[in-house]
Chains A and B, each alone.
Chain A
Amino acid sequence: MFKIIHRYMDFLPATMAVLFLFGQTVCDLYLPTITANLVNKGILQHDFPYIIAIGCRMLIVAGLGLIAATVNVFLASRQSMKIGAMLRSKLYSKVLNFAGQEMNHFGTSTLITRTTNDVVQVQTVMFQVLRQMLRSPMILVTACVLAYIKAPRLTVIYLITLPILTVLCLLVLHYATPLFHSIQGKTDHINQIFREGLTGVRVIRAFNHEDHEQERFDQVNRDYTQTGVKAYSLVACLFPAMTLVLSLTDVGIIMYGGHMIAFKTLNVGDLIAFITYTTQILTSFMRLSRMFVSLPRASASAKRINEVLETPHSVRYEPTTTDASQQTTSSNPETGQSSVPAIEFRHVSFRYPGAERLALDDVSFKVPRDSTIAVIGGTGAGKSTLIDLLAHLYEPASGQVLVQGRPVNSIPANQLHHYLTVAQQKTVLFSGTVRTNLLKANPHATTDEIWHALDIAQASDFVKNAGGLDAAVQQGGHNFSGGQRQRLAIARTLVANADIYVFDDTFSALDFQTDANLRMALATDPQMKGKVICIVAQRVATVLNADQIIVLDNGKLVGCGTHEELARTNQTYQQIMASQLKQGGGQHA
C-alpha cells in the first residue's frame, strides 16, 4: 500500500488535497468557536448587532468550508482514479510482455483479477485515504488546539480521551486486521471450490461425488462464516466503546467546566463549544472505524499488484552491436546470404523453474532456408519447449537460439514476428469478427490474402456458411467448434508475413481427412516457396515428407534426418513408428 502511494501518488495534487481537507476541517471546527463568542458576548451582554455580525462571519466560514471540501473531493477523486489508471496501464503492459514462465507462475485468472478488481480496490481506498482517513486525526488535533486556545486547562480532558481512543482503535485494528486478511483468503478458497464445481461438473457427477463436493464447500463456507462473525463482531465493539468514551468526555467537560465557570476561569459559551467538538470527534472516528473493513482488503490487493509489477522479466532483450546492419538483411531471405541457416540451436538447454530434470538438454541443430522441418517426440519430450524458446517466450538456461543468423534475444520483441510466426497447440480467438481475428497477425493483409489463408486452412467453407469474413466471433470463439477454431487459428498464422511458419501440434484437433487436405494445400502453395515450415507432431504420418525430422526424447535430441534415414538408423524413431504402425494396421508398409 505505502509502496504504491510512494511510487504513483502525484505529490503536488495529493498535498493540495490534504491541505484543502485541513482547510475544511478548520472551518468546520471554527464554527463552534464562533458560537462560543456568540454566547459569551452576544447573549450574556444582549448585544444584538454583535449577534448579526457573528452570524455573517459564520456564513463566510461555512462557505469557505464548502469550497475547501469541494476542491479536496475534486483533487482526491482525480488523484485516486489516476493512480488506478496508472496501475492498470502498468500491469497491462507488464503482463503483455510477460514470458511464458511468468504467465505460468501466476496463472491467467489471477492476473485478470489483479488487473481488474484489485486495482479498483486500491483506487477506492486511495480516495478514502485522501478524504476520510486523514480527517479524523485532523479533527482531533484541530479540536485540541482550538480547545487549548479557549481554555488550556479544560484541554486536559481531551488529552485523556485522545490516547484512549487511539489505543482503542489500534487494539481493534491489531486484532481485526489478521481476521480480515484471513477472510480474504477464505473468500478465494470458496470461489475456487465453486469454480471447480463448474468446470468439473461431468467428472464430479460421473464419479458420484456431488455429496463430497457439497461437504467440501459447506466446510469452507462454515469456516468463512465463523471468521466473518468474529471479525465483524470485533469491529462492532468499537463503535459503542467510542460512544462511551466520548460521553464520559462530555460529562467530564460539564463537571470540570462547570467548576471552572463557577470560579470564573471559563465562559459558558466555551463549554458549549467543547461539547460540540466532542460530537464532531465522535462522528469522525465512526467513519474511521468503517475503514478497518476495507483497509486490509485493499492492502492485500496492493500486495498482489506489487507482486506482479516487481516480477523481473525472465526473457531478456540484448541488442548486439551489429544490430543495425543485420536487421536489413535478415528479415528478407532473398537478399541474405543463403549459407546462413534460417534456424539454429547451439547447445541449448532449458529447465522449468523448480524442475529437477532439464526440459531441453544440449540441443543443437540447423535448419536451412526453404525447407520443411518436423519435430517429433512423445509427451514431455520437449517439443513445445523447443518452439517456445524459438519464439523467445522463454530464455534458455544456456546456449543460443538464432533466427536468420541473429540471436533471438537480440531481436526486439515487437520485431520477432517478422521472422517467425507460430500456430499454437491451444487455440485462442478474440471476440470480434473473423476478419479482425485474422488481421491480428498482419494488419495490412488484403481480403484476397485472408481468403487465400482460409482456403489453405480448410476454413473457407464454414466461414462462408457463418456469413463471410465479417461473421461474429464470440469471446474465446465459442460459437465455433474446436476443429473450426483450430483452422481459424491456422489461417491466422498463414496471414502473417514471416520467414518461418511453425505449427505446434496444430493438427491434433482435426480429423484425419481435414488434416491431410490441409497439409497438402500447405505443401503445394506457391506463397510458401522460400519459407521455412516447421511442423510439430506426434503422428509419423504427419511428418513423413519433411526435409528434416528432429526426434526429441526426454529433452534430448536423439535424431535428425529424413524419414528414410531415421527409419533405418534411429531407435527412438523406430519405436514411435512401430507403435503407430501397429495402430495403423500396417497400412503403409
Chain B
Amino acid sequence: MHNGFAPHLRQRSKAEQAQNFWGTTWRLLRYLKPWHWLLFLSIIFAIAAVIFSVSAPKILGQATTTIYAGVKRGRAMGASVSQWPIDFHKVGHYAVQVLILYGCSAIFSLLQQLLTTQLAQRVVYTLRRDLKRKMRRLPVSFYDTHDHGDIMSRMVNDMDNVAATLQQGLIQIVTSAFTFIGVLVLMLTISLRLTLVALITIPIGMVIVGVISPKAQRLFGKQQATLGTINNQVEETYTGQQVVKLFGDEKREQERFEKGNKQYFNAAWKAQFFSILVFPAMNFVRNLGFLMVAVVGSFLVAQGQLAIGAVQAILQYQEQFSRPITQLANLANVFQQTIASSERIFAILDEPEMKSDTVKKAQPAQTSGPVITFKDVKFSYRPDQPLIDHFNLDVAPRQTIAIVGPTGAGKSTLINLLERFYDVNAGKILLHGVNTQDMTRADLRRHFAIVPQETWLFHGTIMDNISFGHPGASAEDVYQAAGLARADHFIRTLPDGYQTVLGEGSTEISTGQQQLLTIARAFAANPEILILDEATSSVDTRTESLIQAAMDNLRANRTTFIVAHRLSTVQNADQIIVLNHGHIVETGNHESLLAKGGFYARLYNSQFRHALR
C-alpha cells in the first residue's frame, strides 16, 4: 500500500556482482557463528570421510597386486598348475580393510551431510526471521519508497540462492579441496612417475576451464538480462491484460514478446551449451590422463618397475582427481552469485530503522481538554519540498475532523503523522496533552482504529480478518461488528459464512464487500479515535447511507478523522482541513469556509455546477 503521495522511488539494482565480496562473505559466515560447532564438526567429518574413501583404492590396488603376483608366480612355475597360487588369505585381509575404510567413509559422510543440513536450514531460518523482524522495525517510509516486487525477489530468489549454496556448496568446497590433496598425496606414495604423468592433465584442464568459463559467464549475463526484459513485459501486460484486450493490442504485444523470447532463446542455449561444455571437455582431459597412465603404467609394469595394483589404484584416483577442478571452477561462479544475493539481503538489514521507543512510558490520562492537539507541526517527505509548516489544531472530544482537497493534495499525510507512520520534523502532536513522541507507538495506536484507503485483508477466514482489530474478540463481538458495518448479511450468504477463506484463488468478494469488512474490523476494535481514509468511496450510496447511520452512533462517543470525498461528511464535520498540493490552505467549518469564499468554496461549488446546467 502506498498512499499516492509519498515519493515512490524505485531502487532496483540489477547488478549481479557483489560490491564488497569479502566483506559480505565474512558477514554471511558470521551467521554460521551460533552453530560454529556444527560447522566445525561437519568439516571434520567431511575430511574424515574423504581420508577414508581416498585410502580405499590404494588397498584395493594392493589386493590386485597380490592376485597378479600369484598369477606371475604360477606362470613362472609353468602352465602345468591347474590353479594359480594366489594368497587368498592376504587378499581377504585387504578386502576387509577396504570394507572398513568405505564403511567409515560412509558413516562420516552421512554424519557430515546430516549436520550440514541442520546448519544450512537453521542459518536460512535465522536469515528469514531476521529479515521479517527487520521489516517490522523499518519505518513506513521504507515501504513507500521501495518497490515491493524488488523486496519480494530478495526474500524469495536471493534467499533461495543462499540456501542452496549453504546446503550443497559450502561442504563441497571442503570435500573437493581435501579430495584433491588426499588423492595427490596417496598417488605420490604409490608412484612418483605415474603421478607426474597424471598431473600433466591439470594445466590442460585449467586452460580449458579458463577459456570456456569466462565465455559461459558472459553469455549467462546476457541470458539473465534478456530474461529480465521478457519477465518485465510479462508482469506488465498481465497486470494490464484487460487494457491490452480492450484496445485490441494483443497481436503487437505478442510480436514484441516473440522478439524478446527469441533473443532470450539465442542467449540461453548458448549460455547453457558453454557452461555445460566444461564437463565433457574435462571428461576428455580425464580420459587423456587415464590413457596416459594406462600406457606409461603398462610400460613400467612390463619392465617390472611397478606393481600392477599401483596402476589400477592410480587409474581409480585419476577418476577422482579431475573432478574437484571442475567442481571448484563451478563453485566459484555459484559463490559469486550467492554473495551478490546475500549482499542484497543484507542491504535491507542495513536500512536505517525507526527510533526505538521501548523506554517511553508516557500514558495519557482522560482529561477534559482537547483529545488531539497539533502544535506548530512542521513536516515534509523530502527536505527540499516543505509541506506542512506551523500547523496548529485542537480537536475536542467527539469532534469530527474532515480532511478535504483535490486528488493528490496529500490528505493521507495527516493520517501518517497521527498514527506516527511518519514523525514530525518539528513541533508536536499531543494526545490528551501528552506528546505522542513520548509514547510507544503501540500505546499510541491503541487509541486509534483505521479504515484504510485501499482495502487490505489477509489470507484467512472472514472471522479472523474482522477480529484482527480486536484480538481475543468472541464470535459474538465479530457478528456484532459485522452487523454494524452492514456486512453480516452478505457474509451469511457466502457458502462458508464467517469461515470463508479470503485470498487469491479462494472465494472472491467484491471491492465494496471488502470495504465493508475493513469497516467491520474497525468496529471490532472499538477505538477512542476513528480514522477513515476515504473509506466509503467504493461503497454504493445506498449502502453508504446505512453505514452513515451506524457511523453516527459510533461517532457519538468518538473523535473521528475522515479523509472525505463525500459532501455529507464534510458538511457535518466540526472542523474541515482543506489541503492543496500538500499544504494546508484553510481550516474552519463548512459555513465559515463557504462564507470565506476561498479554495473550499470553489471546490464545493464545482461539484454541482454541471448538475444544475
CA distance A371 to B442 in the complex (A): 56
B118 touches A229 (CB 8 A): yes
> In whole Å, how far is B606's beta carbon from the nearest beta carbon of chain A?
4
Check B106 against A377 for contact (C-beta < 8 Å): no
Of the listed stretches A157-165, A171-179, A196-204, A318-326, chain B binds A196-204
How many residue pairs, one in A and one in B, have C-beta atoms under 8 Å apart? 508
Q: Is the CB of A380 within 8 A of B98?
A: no
Asked if B83 CB lies within 8 Å of chain A CBs, one says: yes
Chain B 263-315 residues near chain A, CB threshold 8 A? 264-265, 268-270, 272-273, 276-277, 279-281, 283-284, 287-288, 290-292, 294-295, 298-299, 301-302, 308, 311-312, 315
Q: How far is the CA of A247 from the CA of B107 in the complex (A)?
A: 13
Bound-state Cα–Cα, A232 to B113, Å = 9
Mind listing 10 A-B residue pairs with CB under 8 Å?
A89-B257, A240-B110, A261-B84, A262-B67, A268-B71, A413-B248, A431-B232, A440-B249, A482-B408, A517-B606
List chain B residues, Cβ under 8 A from A545: 610, 613
Q: Is the CB of A205 within 8 A of B140?
A: yes
Q: Given A190-B128, A236-B114: A262 and B70 within 8 A (CB)? A: yes
Q: Which residues of A contact B292 (CB under 8 A)?
A: 55
**Closest residue of chain A to B157, judged by CB?**
A117
Please tell me if the beta carbons of B102 and A115 are within 8 angstroms of each other in the complex: no
Interface-facing stretch out of B333-341, B534-542, B554-562: B534-542
Instruction: Judge whether A255 and B92 touch: CB under 8 Å.
Output: yes
Cβ A212 vs Cβ B471 within 8 A: yes
* B117 and A276 form a contact (CB under 8 A): no
**Min CB–CB distance A212 → chain B (angstroms):** 7
Does any Cβ of A come within 8 Å of B95's Cβ? yes
A254 to chain B, nearest CB (A): 5
Contact call B121/A583, Cβ cutoff below 8 A: no
Whether A82 lies near B265 (C-beta < 8 A) is yes
Contact of A195 among B106, B148, B507 (CB under 8 A): B148
Chain B residue nearest to A106 in the complex (CB): B505
Select which of A77, A92, A255, A476 is within 8 A of B95 by beta carbon.
Answer: A255
Select one of B10, B103, B250 contacting A474, CB under 8 A.
B10
Q: Mark A414-442, 1 if CB is under 8 A from B, else 0.
A: 11111001101000111100000000111
What secondary structure prevails in chain A residues at the interface with B?
helix
Smallest CB separation, A530 vs chain B (Å): 21
- Assess whether B381 is interfacial by the CB under 8 Å rule: no
Once the chains bind, are A483 and B407 in contact (CB under 8 Å)? yes
Pick from B232, B248, B450: contact of A202, CB under 8 Å: B450
Among listed B365-373, B391-399, B451-459, B477-485, interface-contacting one: B451-459
Residues of A within 8 A of B56 (CB): 247, 250
Are A237 and B234 touching (Cβ within 8 A)? no
- Tell me which of B60, B230, B458, B503 has the highest count of chain A C-beta atoms within 10 A of its own C-beta: B458
Partner of A417, one of B53, B247, B449: B247
A54 proximal to B (CB < 8 A): yes
Contact, CB under 8 Å: A65 / B287: yes
Binds A, one of B130-138, B177-185, B382-390: B130-138
The answer to whether A85 touches B242, judged by C-beta atoms less than 8 angstroms apart, is no
Binds B, one of A142-150, A343-351, A504-512: A504-512
Q: Which residues of A contact B240 (CB under 8 A)?
A: 428-430
Q: What is the CA–CA distance of A38 and B302 in the complex, to the nearest angstrom?
A: 11
Chain A contact-residue range equals 35 or more
Say yes or no: is A338 at the interface (Cβ < 8 Å to chain B). no
Q: Could you mark each residue 366-408 of chain A with 1 if its beta carbon is under 8 Å from any beta carbon of chain B, else 0?
A: 0000000000011111000000000101000000000000000
Q: Assess whether A519 is interfacial by the CB under 8 Å rule.
A: yes
Task: Name the residue in A43, A96, A106, A202 with the highest tally of chain B Cβ atoms < 10 Å from its Cβ.
Answer: A202
Listed stretches A56-64, A327-335, A447-455; interface member: A56-64
Whether B295 and A55, one on each chain, are in contact in the complex, defined by CB atoms closer than 8 angstroms, is: yes
- Whether B291 contacts A112 by the Cβ 8 Å rule is no
Task: Tell me if B284 and A62 are in contact (CB < 8 A).
Answer: yes
What 1/0 flags go to A102-145 for Cβ under 8 Å of B?
01111111111001100010010001000100000000000000
In contact, B294 and A35 (Cβ under 8 angstroms): yes
List B232-265 residues whose CB lies under 8 Å from chain A.
232, 234-254, 257-258, 261-262, 264-265
The answer to whether A469 has its CB under 8 Å from any CB of chain B is: no
Nearest-CB distance from A95 to chain B (Å)?
6
Question: Are B316 and A279 closer than 8 Å at their CB atoms?
Answer: yes
Given contacts A48-B302, A212-B471, A254-B63, contact A583 B567 (CB under 8 A): yes
- A264-B84, A272-B312, A478-B8 in contact; A206/B448 too (CB < 8 A)? yes
Please state if A89 and B261 are interface contacts (CB–CB under 8 Å): yes
The 9 closest A-B pairs by CB, nearest first: A378-B540, A483-B407, A379-B512, A247-B102, A69-B280, A583-B568, A236-B113, A481-B408, A417-B248
Q: Which residues of A contact B471 (CB under 8 A)?
A: 209, 212
A12 vs chain B, min Cβ distance (A): 17
Query: Could you tell me if B291 and A58 are in contact, using CB atoms closer than 8 angstroms?
Result: yes
| Interface presence of A484 (CB below 8 A) | yes
- Kindly list chain B residues whose C-beta atoms are within 8 Å of the C-beta of A290: 168
Min distance, Cβ B76 to any Cβ of chain A, angstroms:
12
Closest B residue, CB atoms, query A248: B99
- Report yes or no: B246 in contact with A391, Cβ–Cβ below 8 A: yes
- Interface assignment of B602: CB less than 8 Å from any CB of chain A: yes
Is B158 located at the chain interface by the 8 A CB criterion? no
Check A69 against B408 for contact (C-beta < 8 Å). no
Please report the C-alpha to C-alpha distance between residue A585 and residue B568 in the assembled complex, in whole angstroms: 7
A579's partner among B4, B308, B544 (CB-CB below 8 A) is B544
B265: chain A residues at CB < 8 Å are 81-82, 84-85
